[in-house]
A and B are shown apart, each in its own frame.
Chain A
Amino acid sequence: MTGPLIPMELIPEAWNNVIALLLGMGFGFALEASGFSSSRKIMGTFFGYDFVVLRVFFTAAITAMSGIIYFDFMGWMDASMLYINPYYVTSAIVGGVIMGFGFALGGFCPGTSFCGVAIGKIDAMFFSAGLFLGIMLFSEMYPLFSTLYNSENLGGIKIYEMLGMKRNLFAFLLIVAAVGMFYGAAFVEKKVTKVEY
């Protein structure tokens, strides 16, 4: 069947929530089993004592990307139907920097904090409560942010279009860069003093 299945109306809408639950389970299992329910393991990437985040994140990204390119090439999926987040230049960067700050203080991101909550991490529960408060804060202060939030919309632009490159060349270079980082990470891990957690 040619994907994406739901936008192509090959799966009835009623299955939507069941599918969401099942895919979410796979997502949660993969994160927890890799160690993302522990903030100190996650933070290892930033101090060089455990690069699990870098390894899992980039392996996942290039796996999914390769799958999509392959299925698109074979005609099993129409990649042009996939949703692309619109790029609001400044808002995306400001948001990313604020999230990075939150990452350094909280030790989780939203998805990993839910994994922590599921296995009983109290710090993850506090982080999740903080998420709720933060989103509410943003919403209440929205009039203040709305100009920045809505400005410079480049639409669902792809990174290779922005750089004027061919998709497959960019994808190939991304894979090479990821493998390079994996080697670099192993090298740094050997040099850095182990941290017990």
Chain B
Amino acid sequence: MEQKKRDGSFYINPYLGGVLLGLVLFATYYVTGRGLGASGAVKSTVVTTVHAVAPEHAHKSGYYSQFLSDDISPMSNWLVFEVLGVLAGAFLSGTLYGRLKFKTEHSPKITSRRRLIFAVAGGMLFGVGSQFARGCTSGAALSGMAVLSASGIITMMAIFGSAYLFAWIFKKLWI
């Protein structure tokens, strides 16, 4: 059993995983008054990067400037530390269950190259969409559902509904 657990194929029961995730989310609300997030940390990174490379441009931009203030760097954002934690926690789990490995995972019907091109495209779309919706699957959909926010639940339905449709259109990428 121990051997089997460490060969990378073992996942915890999804309902146990869900309860764990739910308790973490609940604890986040109890302690901070806000939910979890993911895309917000990337936004902070983008704002910091652009601000470092072209400070004038960042201050003039209608979007970046909303997240810049003089005394606090956008990188010191709560979500950036949270995402560093996500990386550490996932690394810990990957170590525990023997999943650490450099690998491009893709369907046998497509090449790694094709997979990577579509991964970048998918990431870009997610990046754009998460700005419109003011959060991604974590910050808008999951955290929103926990507090029954209309925005979160509507965004969740839009994400999953459209993902179902497009997944079937691009079925060849996956199965």
| A residues whose Cβ falls under 8 Å from a Cβ of B | 3-7, 11, 16-17, 19-35, 37-41, 43, 46-47, 49, 51-52, 55-65, 67-68, 71, 77, 79, 81-89, 91-115, 117-124, 126-140, 142-143, 145-146, 148-149, 154, 156-162, 167, 170-171, 174, 182, 195, 197
Q: Which residues of A contact B29 (CB under 8 A)?
A: 3-4, 64, 68, 77, 82
Contact B123 A128 (CB under 8 A): yes
> Complex Cα distance A115/B87, Å?
6
In terms of DSSP, what is the predominant structure of the interface of chain B? helix
Q: A27-B24, A68-B26, A123-B115 are in contact. Are A96 and B155 (CB under 8 A)?
A: yes
Contact B83 A24 (CB under 8 A): yes
> Complex Cα distance A111/B93, Å?
15
> Complex Cα distance A159/B149, Å?
5
Q: Which residues of A contact B153 (CB under 8 A)?
A: 159
Contact A105 B170 (CB under 8 A): yes
In terms of DSSP, what is the predominant structure of the interface of chain A? helix
Whether a CB of chain A sits under 8 angstroms from the CB of B1 is: no
Contact A126 B123 (CB under 8 A): yes
Q: How far is the CB of B172 from chain A (nearest CB, A)?
A: 12
CB-nearest residue of chain A to B87: A118
Question: How many B residues touch the partner, as a band?
Answer: 35 or more
Contact A23 B24 (CB under 8 A): yes
9 nearest CB pairs, A to B? A106-B122, A130-B123, A134-B127, A24-B85, A59-B18, A96-B158, A63-B22, A100-B162, A95-B133
Contact A6 B32 (CB under 8 A): yes
> Complex Cα distance A169/B81, Å?
36
Q: A7-B33, A30-B24 are in contact. Are A103 and B122 (CB under 8 A)?
A: yes
Whether a CB of chain A sits under 8 angstroms from the CB of B175 is: yes
Q: A87-B150, A103-B126, A142-B62 are in contact. Are A23 and B85 (CB under 8 A)?
A: yes
Q: Which residues of B contact A139 (CB under 8 A)?
A: 46-47, 50, 61, 63-64, 131
Contact B46 A132 (CB under 8 A): yes
Q: A57-B142, A132-B46 are in contact. Are A107 and B129 (CB under 8 A)?
A: no
11 A-B contact pairs sorted by A residue (CB < 8 Å)? A3-B29, A20-B82, A33-B20, A34-B14, A59-B18, A67-B22, A101-B125, A103-B166, A106-B119, A110-B136, A149-B132
Q: How far is the CB of A129 from chain B (nearest CB, A)?
A: 6
> Complex Cα distance A57/B152, Å?
13
Contact A56 B61 (CB under 8 A): no
Which listed residue (A51, A101, A134) contacts B162, Cβ 8 A? Answer: A101
Q: Which residues of A contact B171 (CB under 8 A)?
A: 47
> Complex Cα distance A91/B116, Å?
29
- Return the CB mask of B128-169 against A: 1 if under 8 Å, else 0: 111111111111101111111111111111111111111111
Contact A127 B120 (CB under 8 A): yes
Contact A167 B21 (CB under 8 A): no
> Complex Cα distance A62/B142, Å?
10
Contact B32 A110 (CB under 8 A): no
Contact B124 A110 (CB under 8 A): no
